[in-house]
Structure 1
């Protein structure tokens, strides 16, 4: 007997809800059926995956914890394969699951999604908004098809295929209702260290970049608030809680924010990423083409507010 996708799906259901009864309900089978299939999976793998005697409900054993990310990836890959084949034979419309950081959702992706939907109304779109690091993990698990992520200076994850699309400056946001944080149009990290700082939660690359810049300058940051999503950070800055280092894209349409550039400058590179081991579907290729075309048109016109440069992909 071999491991089946059904067994893996039942295992994931138990892992997610920590209850055999609710797991069976979630996959639409009777509980004895789910239990038998899970037991068969354990027999096939030669290890107990779920501790059924735990007081608070079933919990994963070390073997179950090791299987969990692999099972998620296998099922995601199978779903992607079905979607790709269905597109080719015309059984159903395509699907694209796209992720982006909050600043990119506001500054780029909202318009791209509108254009893509107008061009391909038959393709189903799903959007995930998160920090760059969680988005990369979602790509690796097969939960996303494409994502606009930040390419780290330490190099690109070899598991991902990336197309750099934007180079963006990070600047200091302060409220226009208060005096400028400096008498000049720029400020140093040392000057920034004298201001109360608002930073987003962990998982945002801009947080890590900001804190690294302080460490490199030998300056200890003064925090007003740590945590929260990007929109909350911007609202706290507008309210006068503190200042924040943010991507230049977020200043568009926010008249209550003042932009002051940092010296030396901080930049980041935005790339369109997908898993390197999977062939992109027709829908994914169509989305990539729409994104690059939109950015090319924008670059030829007025471009973005602030210091944002559209990058031309190599070979195009």
Structure 2
């Protein structure tokens, strides 16, 4: 089994077409087909069904696909790590974060890291926690900021809880309630703007409403963070959002739900079975230092608090790996 064969296999599995996969891999189609056949012979099972011109994965192919993706991702990570150990002043960190964290916490931490390590390439993937956890497990990300608790524990990941953030009810500023809190019952029968499926905030809102004994009414649903906030500004309804996303939006007000309210835990996740690259380790240290410093100085976004005293990095910013 060769890495090139696995790369060809993944390309065909994703394209569901041999010619398109060959074009993507920049190889002649007969050569690609030959390597796939060699892989099938080595494994002792067909990987694709080619009935009536349709290319589909066999059960063996379905089983191999996630493993092949992980092997290829790990091989790429190994190349990056060896390049760093060889003394090259460059590398790569693949980071994931939810949309609200990308716009807030992650942006400031990335800026600090880039100033300290300008030669490191930063790749950021934005998505819901479940999507990010899948990307981590496949080896497509090095680190990710996710929301806890996960819908299901993944034994291949290790998580480090760092922050707790309050969720608030966002409404147009002119509709600000009189009191400091809003009862969850106040959302019964009220028009709400809802995130697309897969968002952690969607599940948190649905769970809170159902525990209070009612189903929320949606005026519109399916948006990303920026779209949801704009819909609320336009008067389409209210939405349950992280408190930090309202910074710099004077057209919106955020009201916490009555105690115990709603909150979410922000954690840093990585794979348990793979040692992070030096570049990824440096970013983790930078992020934790930034979080602790902001917590001590009171500059964390409103409604965001440190969970516990996190360790400071011993490495001075900008020190070579």
Q: Distance in 1 between matches of 2:279 and 2:133?
A: 20
The yes-or-no answer on 1:72 pairing with 2:69 is yes
Secondary structure, counterpart of 2:101 in structure 1: helix
In the other structure, the counterpart of 1:131 is 128
Q: CA deviation at 1:156?
A: 5.0
Q: CA RMSD in A?
A: 1.7
In the other structure, the counterpart of 1:112 is 109
Q: Distance in 1 between matches of 2:274 and 2:301?
A: 35
In the other structure, the counterpart of 1:26 is 24
Q: CA deviation at 1:208?
A: 0.6
Q: Distance in 2 between matches of 1:224 and 1:302?
A: 37
The yes-or-no answer on 1:199 pairing with 2:194 is yes
Q: Distance in 1 between matches of 2:269 and 2:128?
A: 14
In the other structure, the counterpart of 2:261 is 265
- Report if aligned partners of 1:251, 1:306 keep a CA contact under 8 Å in 2: no
Q: Distance in 1 between matches of 2:139 and 2:244?
A: 28
- Report if aligned partners of 1:167, 1:311 keep a CA contact under 8 Å in 2: yes
User: Scaled by the length of structure 1, what TM-score is found?
Assistant: 0.93
Which stretches in structure 2 are left out of the alignment for 5+ residues? 313-321
- Report if aligned partners of 2:292, 2:309 keep a CA contact under 8 Å in 1: no
Match of 2:85 among 74, 88, 96: 88
* Higher mean displacement: 121-130 or 288-297: 288-297
Q: CA deviation at 1:273?
A: 0.8
Q: Distance in 1 between matches of 2:25 and 2:151?
A: 42
Q: CA deviation at 1:284?
A: 0.7
Secondary structure, counterpart of 2:175 in structure 1: coil
Q: CA deviation at 1:53?
A: 2.5
- Report if aligned partners of 2:192, 2:218 keep a CA contact under 8 Å in 1: yes
Aligned length: 311
**Aligned counterparts, 1:214-253, within 5 A:** 214-253=209-248
Which stretches in structure 1 are left out of the alignment for 5+ residues? none
